[in-house]
Structure 1
């Protein structure tokens, strides 16, 4: 499909936060982090803003030209074998604490979700990490998400890079399977909550890109 895609800049921050907020309001994981519906309506955007700021600073956000969908990516290096014995666990814990304090200080689940995702992240190989993808509710089901993801996967194939993500619903795993991702053999089970599906994609070679 002929969808224009561009890299987002600082001027797109509000657009990206709004897209993510709307797209994930009823997501199972967002519902676990913010169980009370009205509180989620009032607070959820802060978490999406924190994620957006991290990726604007450290990664890449792609948006469709019409502003109806976005994808947040981070380029993850392979773990340094000379690094700390805890594999960066202390740094991840500090990041999780800072996230909770900036988003919702009295909500331990903000910190817990950050810790769980960091601890389960593969570290042995450099890869592209699809952190989040958000499509405006009125445009879901139009193929925008798949087009945005494929935009980066084409580069992964050219450069021989694998890709990784955590699907937040079983339904979304079907989209990612069509794009070449496979289940990473374990689920990420949130305490007394939903599960997430880590998925990995090896680069496809010989496609003539």
Structure 2
């Protein structure tokens, strides 16, 4: 059975935060950039901020019916993103805790590899551990890819898990950079997907 994927509403925020927190509990990137003390609370706070202040008002968010799969995108129309991140920089630093400086250096290391042209950027995607292996990851990403294809726009993402690279390759992404993050951080892959050709 094909899972039903829909656009998120404010009612989905807390279920989506719970899913992403569970999915990223041991993710190398967030373990590197968020303090270890009360880590799961910090992770939830970060995901909540991203969904509430970036994804829903300025981007696109898709979820499965029970919000056990979540994908949060920024789009070429997400013109206020830089200002929002600037406004929330103190809060993000607080969430990172004693890893704030490392988080800042990490962002600086990734920035040169990020697109400077209009792009659909997959900021975060996760499937609750209870629902993994059911095709939900692919299903929740695909609406964003279709939307990008409809406007002839590239898509972009970053991942710090080698096992994710295979999934993203199957979705049409190619590696454009492999970055060894500073401060003994994990290797991170920047991946880009060209828009699918328009059927004749």
Mapped partners of 2:84, 2:179: distance in 1: 20
Name the stretch that deviates more: 155-164 or 131-140: 155-164
* TM-score, normalising length: structure 1: 0.81
**Bigger shift: residues 127-136 or 50-59:** 50-59
Q: CA deviation at 1:156?
A: 1.9
Q: How does 1:120-159 map to 2 (within 5 A)?
A: 120-123=113-116, 125-159=117-151
What secondary structure, in the 3-state scheme, does the structure 1 residue paired with 2:195 have?
coil
Alpha-carbon spacing, 1:78–1:10, altered in 2? closer, same or farther (3 Å): closer
Cα deviation for residue 188 of structure 1 reads 5.2
Structure 2 stretches lacking a partner, 5+ long: none
Q: How does 1:20-39 map to 2 (within 5 A)?
A: 20-34=20-34, 36=36, 39=38
Alignment: residue pair count? 196
Quote the RMSD (CA, aligned, Å).
2.7
Shift of 1:76: 3.2
Task: State the partner residue of 2:8.
Answer: 8
1:176 aligns with 2:164: no
| Structure 1 segments (4+ residues) deviating >6 Å | none
Q: TM-score by structure 2 length?
A: 0.85
Task: Work out whether residues 154 and 195 of structure 2, in 8 Å CA contact, stay in contact via their aligned partners in 1.
Answer: yes
Distance change >3 Å, CA 99–CA 164, structure 1 → 2 = farther
